[in-house]
């Protein structure tokens, strides 16, 4: 009788320990990784190159509108995104990303046979139109509502300041070294001063 009772207690204890170990073994994902996953799912590069432009550099190139409410949605190194809202509903997304972080994103434009505002363009599925500016910056318009057509995506791409984006100076991510100014007269080294000098 006592053996059966202890067996039940031991079984319950082992089960509790097993549940505890299983729960602890799965570490919760950090807020950073969750945001990164969400961002990647919406087309932003996951790994960010050191040379990538800051997302804030792209803000001035986005278009505005009197008929739509264009509001910032996300900004991080190498990427910036805006929402296009109408009547309280998101009808499209606008984005600029630096393909330095994801070179394969730029490759699809190499075989492009169409252009928008003089830049190579591609259609991704039935909801996304993108162009490559300056062989580096991918500009995309994504329809979030069926009423936002491919023609409208092209029209919105043309409203970006594409020439300004093309002339954006690349972020070289190099430290600025102090300028070395040569002296007017060469100075002798301490070792040279210790050596006997020839008579003049």
Tokens, residue 57: 């550099």
Going residue by residue through the chain, which has 200 residues, state the pLDDT in tens, using 9 for 90 and above: 556 666 676 677 766 766 665 555 544 444 434 444 444 445 554 567 787 889 899 999 999 999 999 999 999 999 999 999 999 999 999 999 999 988 889 999 999 999 999 999 999 999 999 999 999 999 999 999 999 999 999 999 999 999 999 998 665 333 333 344 444 444 544 444 545 555 54
The answer to whether residue 42 sits within a structural domain is: no
The answer to whether residue 53 sits within a structural domain is: yes
The answer to whether residue 109 sits within a structural domain is: yes
The answer to whether residue 177 sits within a structural domain is: no
Residue 95, domain extent: 47-166
The answer to whether residue 12 sits within a structural domain is: no
The answer to whether residue 176 sits within a structural domain is: no
The answer to whether residue 178 sits within a structural domain is: no
Q: What is the maximal distance between C-alpha atoms in the chain?
A: 115
The answer to whether residue 175 sits within a structural domain is: no
Domain count, the chain: 1
Tokens, residue 54: 């800051």
Whole-prediction pTM value?
Answer: 0.62
């Amino acid at each position: 009788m006592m053996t059966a009772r202890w067996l039940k207690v031991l079984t319950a204890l082992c089960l509790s320990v097993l549940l505890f170990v299983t729960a602890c073994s799965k570490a919760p994902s950090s807020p950073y990784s969750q945001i990164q996953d969400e961002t990647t799912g919406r087309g932003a590069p996951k790994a960010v190159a050191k040379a990538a432009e800051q997302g804030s550099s792209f803000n001035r190139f986005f278009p505005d509108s009197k008929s739509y409410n264009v509001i910032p949605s996300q900004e991080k190194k190498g990427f910036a995104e805006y929402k296009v809202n109408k009547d309280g509903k998101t009808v499209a997304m606008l984005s600029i990303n630096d393909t330095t972080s994801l070179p394969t994103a730029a490759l699809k434009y190499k075989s492009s046979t169409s252009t928008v505002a003089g830049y190579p363009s591609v259609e991704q599925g039935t909801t996304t139109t993108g162009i490559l500016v300056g062989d580096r910056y991918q500009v995309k318009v994504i329809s979030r509502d069926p009423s936002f057509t491919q023609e409208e995506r092209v029209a919105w791409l043309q409203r970006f300041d594409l020439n300004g984006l093309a002339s954006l100076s690349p972020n070289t991510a190099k430290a600025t070294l102090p300028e070395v100014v040569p002296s007017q007269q060469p100075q002798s080294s301490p070792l040279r001063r210790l050596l006997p000098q020839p008579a003049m």
